[in-house]
Amino acid sequence: MIPDATPSGDISKDRLRLWLKLLKAQSAIEAEIRRRLREDSATTLPRFDVMSALFRHSKGLKMSQISGLLKVSNGNVTGIVDRLVEDGQVIRVAVPGDRRAQLARLTPAGITAFERLAQAHEGWLNTMLGGIDEADIAALAAQLDNITDHLEADHAN
């Protein structure tokens, strides 16, 4: 474990400002995604995230698995899945060998709807991140990996 240190002067303030800029960019992008999902696609980010998790796990997920993946409460996930079931985009299926558990799974209509949303989402991000060229994307991605890896390595110690 590296001891915390506040180096004197500028580098420390620069790192603090970098965090505030990271937060600001993330928050601006997320706000725009929420707005686009609402206005262009009549849906919400939590609903998009639940569909995305189910899309990546095509065999289905328990409510507790969805909330674990998304870090949202079980109650909220249940409400979102209820509405997706009403809309015919998700079905609940029994878990073999566990009569009380149920998996949520995308229906074919849900898969089609999610693919359309995911394509729109990718298009919005292309517009939002259009000011960054390919070389800078690679450099920025490497720095962000660096931050995440550094944090994960510190936690592993």
Q: Which of 16, 40, 36 is nearest to 28 (CA)?
A: 36
Out of 94, 95, 109, 137, point to the residue binding its own copies (CB under 8 A): 137
The CA-based angle 74-86-69, given to 5 degrees, is: 30
- Binding string, residues 69-98; x marks residues near its own copies by CB under 8 A: ------------------------------
Q: Is position 39 an interface residue for its own copies (rule: CB under 8 A)?
A: no
Q: Is position 151 an interface residue for its own copies (rule: CB under 8 A)?
A: yes
Q: Which is nearer to its own copies, 28 or 93 (CB)?
A: 28
Segment near its own copies (CB under 8 A), from 10-18, 62-70, 74-82, 88-96?
A: 10-18
Say if CB 94 and CB 102 are below 8 A apart.
yes
Q: Which of 66, 148, 68, 152 is nearest to 106 (CA)?
A: 66
Whole-angstrom Cα distance, residue 15 to residue 6? 10
Segment near its own copies (CB under 8 A), from 22-30, 61-69, 72-80, 85-93?
A: 22-30
Whole-angstrom Cα distance, residue 31 to residue 43? 14
Whole-angstrom Cα distance, residue 115 to residue 122? 11
- Binding string, residues 94-133; x marks residues near its own copies by CB under 8 A: -------------------------xxxxxxxxxxxxxx-
Residues near its own copies (CB under 8 A) are 2-7, 11-19, 21-26, 28-30, 32, 119-132, 134, 136-141, 143-152, 154
